[in-house]
Amino acid sequence: MFDLKNFTSAISQIAEEKGISYEKVVESIESAIAAAYKKDYGEKGQIIKAKLDPQSGEVKFWQVKLAVNKDMIYSEKELEELKEKSLQAENEKQEGEKEGEKKVRFNPERHIMLEDAKKIDPKIKTGEELETLLETKADYGRIAAQTAKQVILQKIREAERETILSEYKSKEGELISGIVQRIEGRNIFFDIGKTLGVLTREEQIPGEFYRPGQRLKVYILKVEESPKGPLVFLSRAYPKLISKLFELEVPEVSSGSVVIKSIAREAGSRSKIAVASTVEGVDPIGSMVGQRGTRVMAVINELGGEKIDIIEWSDDPQRFIANSLSPAKAVEVKILPKNKALVIIPDDQLSLAIGKEGQNVRLAAKLTGWKIDVRSPGQVESEAAEANEVDKASKADEEKEEIKEAKDDKEIKKEEKTKEKPASKKKNSKTKLKNKK
């Protein structure tokens, strides 16, 4: 016996446990009940629709038929042609879809001629559905009840997947707390509430170790749909993870009085963040650091000891570039063409400005978007002296070239004159001969 009243009493509990809307659960149950009714009392090809009243447990059934005319039905001749060309049937179907054709094989259980449909509902039009009320049965039988149960479970799983997908899709770009559930190869699976999130090797902090039961904050990178359910991709290496952690620790950031303008990060090693204040009298760096460094230390501890440099952002490129090389102090910043900048640093701070394996200047370049060249005053002077020497040498070469060219011009002119003289002598000799004659 399939007792609907007892069954519907569990709807609210299912909705609450699975985190699915009440309406979605009812819809799933209606679909399952319709499938059970068709199993026991329906015919092959029928479309059965059920409507459940959750309060009373009363259910009603309708058979749905599509109203069609002669133009919408394949003729006997067309059906014979389709059978003969069974190999090309799929192609013809695709072509028909492209041309907007909606022809069907007439099935009395699924279709009804428009003339007959109008006798039941005079307002019905071609292509509309006609619903005919069916007799409600009290006993669905054991097999039908089992079918209903399977369909309900399937529908609830599908509804649960849709709910999880939409929920976590809306949380993309947010921070969430997760517990390491298991480790499979290079992938770490986190329990993030209603589903599992995966932390791939590329999104892990280099050198960070994970153990089951460990609680960590992770960044929701993206959410994708898959046949097995929603896939939530997490990250611990993404730069915005830092800004989200500061939002949790610093009230000024979450309220908007302090803004994180840019972030440059080498996960697990070092990060630089540029901050600015939108409210007069608020110290952006002091707000981020906190009293005795408590705020920034909370973020550093969450990232496993990753160093964080907090610098003040500026509209002036020279000042911003100088700040970005902190903790080194810049003497002068020269803006060069093609988005390049030359920064002069005292000799004793040059290695500090460059950083280990060039990390500090590399992060500063990422933070500002400028190509930064760091030099000491001595290097600049020596390079300037070398440039002067090169200029002098090039000028001397140019002068030599000019003198050589002048000499060559003189020699050419002399040669031209010597060629002209013999010609004039010949003319004179010819005139002399004429005079003698």
What Rg value do the Cα atoms of the chain yield, rounded? Answer: 42
The CA distances from residue 148 to 115, 130, 145, 160, in Å, are 36, 25, 5, 18
Q: What share of the chain is helix, strand, coil (3-state, %, to 5)?
A: 50, 25, 25
- Confidence (pLDDT) at 39: 75
What average pLDDT does range 110-131 have in this prediction? 83
d(CA 257, CA 245): 16
How confident is the model over 225-269, as pLDDT tens digits? 888 788 999 999 999 999 999 999 999 999 999 999 999 999 989
What average pLDDT does range 347-360 have in this prediction? 90
Return the minimum-mean-pLDDT range out of 222-226, 248-252, 404-408: 404-408
- Confidence (pLDDT) at 319: 93
How confident is the model over 274-291, as pLDDT tens digits? 999 999 889 999 999 999
Please state, for a pLDDT cut of 90, what percent of the chain lies above it. 33
- Confidence (pLDDT) at 400: 67
- Confidence (pLDDT) at 143: 52
- Cβ neighbours of residue 288 under 8 Å, at least 6 residues apart? 246, 250, 253, 258, 273, 275, 295, 296, 310
How confident is the model over 13-68, as pLDDT tens digits? 666 666 677 777 777 777 877 877 787 777 777 888 888 776 666 778 888 888 88
- Confidence (pLDDT) at 366: 94
What average pLDDT does range 138-152 have in this prediction? 62
* 38-52, 118-132, 383-397, range with greatest mean pLDDT: 118-132
Average per-residue pLDDT for the chain = 80
List, in sequence order, every beta strand (DSSP E) within 193-235.
196-199, 215-226, 229-235
- Confidence (pLDDT) at 84: 65
* 52-61, 153-162, 219-228, 389-398, range with greatest mean pLDDT: 219-228
- Confidence (pLDDT) at 89: 47
How confident is the model over 176-210, as pLDDT tens digits? 999 999 999 899 999 998 889 999 999 999 988 99
Token pair 């400005």 is found at 353
pLDDT band at 389 (very low <50, low <70, confident <90, very high): low
Whether residue 327 is preceded by a cis peptide bond, meaning omega within 30 degrees of 0, is: yes
Judged on CB neighbours under 10 Å (0-12, 13-18, 19+), 67 is buried
pLDDT band at 11 (very low <50, low <70, confident <90, very high): low
Domains, the chain, in order of start with CATH, read: 4-165 (3.30.1480.10), 172-235 (2.40.50.140), 247-378 (3.30.300.20)
Please state, for a pLDDT cut of 70, what percent of the chain lies above it. 74
What average pLDDT does range 312-340 have in this prediction? 91
Contact 136, 48 (CB under 8 A): no
